[in-house]
Amino acid sequence: MTIVDELKQIQRQINALNNRAAQLLDQLTDPSAHSLPAPSLAVPGSDVEGEDVSAQESPGDNGVSISSDFPIFIYTDGACSGNPGPAGSGVVVIQNDIIVHEISESLGPATNNIAELTAIKLGIEFVKDHHETPVTLYTDSRYAIGILTMNWKAKANVELVESIRKLMKPFKRLKVVHVKGHSGHPGNERADLLAVRGSMA
């Protein structure tokens, strides 16, 4: 298999994972759904020959643990009523097409940038013991993307930015990816809902 063929296969698997994540996120918005099924779905990296992966685990919601056997997908968002104003951060962690953890945190009075950065920090902190595992973190904050991946100089929130950079450093395969906000993307929409809930707490 060529590199191009392998990349195409991985992209198909990622698309399948995102479709399944959308279905699971829909179930989470249903108050009657208290547990999530564990469907079978191949994900990138699960069938790499010769790869010896130790199964470190971190506790999550719904009795599910994070394993080093599968890539981790994190969706983050911040919300602020006024800027500054009552703020909240939301995080959704998905692995092996199961939502393993969610965070809805109230920050009190804060700016939107602080809420966005705090969500990213909370997400990375939750998976901090999985430095060798591929992690893709999605945010709709171009500010956060610039500060954390494009060497923008932090003129505000310096301590928070440095703490996130320090958390990111040990990861071997961590990607921070921009996703368009309020465009119907299920992971981002769910993280936004959790962030808004936090800002109202």
Q: Where does the pLDDT of residue 35 fall: very low under 50, low under 70, confident under 90, or very high at 90 and above? A: very low
Q: Where does the pLDDT of residue 16 fall: very low under 50, low under 70, confident under 90, or very high at 90 and above? A: low
The residue among 23 and 186 whose pLDDT is bigger is 186
The CATH classification of domain 3-29+64-200, taken from the options 3.40.50.2000, 3.40.50.150, 3.30.420.10, 2.30.30.40: 3.30.420.10
pLDDT of res. 122: 98
Closest by alpha carbon to 58, among 119, 121, 133, 117? Answer: 133
Return left, alpha or beta for 102; rule: phi > 0 is left, psi -120 to 50 is alpha, else beta: beta
Instruction: Count the neighbouring beta carbons within 10 Å of the beta carbon of residue 162.
Output: 11
CB 43 within 8 A of CB 17: yes
Mean pLDDT of 152-171: 96
Instruction: Count the neighbouring beta carbons within 10 Å of the beta carbon of residue 99.
Output: 23
pLDDT of res. 97: 86
Closest by alpha carbon to 104, among 194, 196, 200? Answer: 194
What pairs with residue 104 in β-bridges?
A: 90
Q: Where does the pLDDT of residue 1 fall: very low under 50, low under 70, confident under 90, or very high at 90 and above? A: confident
Helix, strand, or coil (residue 114): helix
pTM for the whole structure: 0.71
Biggest CA pair distance of the chain: 53
Q: How far is Cα 120 from Cα 72, in angstroms, rounded to an integer?
A: 14
pLDDT of res. 65: 79
Q: Where does the pLDDT of residue 9 fall: very low under 50, low under 70, confident under 90, or very high at 90 and above? A: confident
Q: What pairing do the DSSP bridges indicate for beta strands 72-80 and 65-67?
A: unpaired
Instruction: Count the neighbouring beta carbons within 10 Å of the beta carbon of residue 16.
Output: 14
Residue 171 pLDDT exceeds 70: yes
Q: How do the domains of the chain map onto residue ranges? A: 3-29+64-200
The 10s digit of each residue's pLDDT in 78-132 is 999 988 999 999 999 999 888 999 999 999 999 999 999 999 999 999 999 999 9
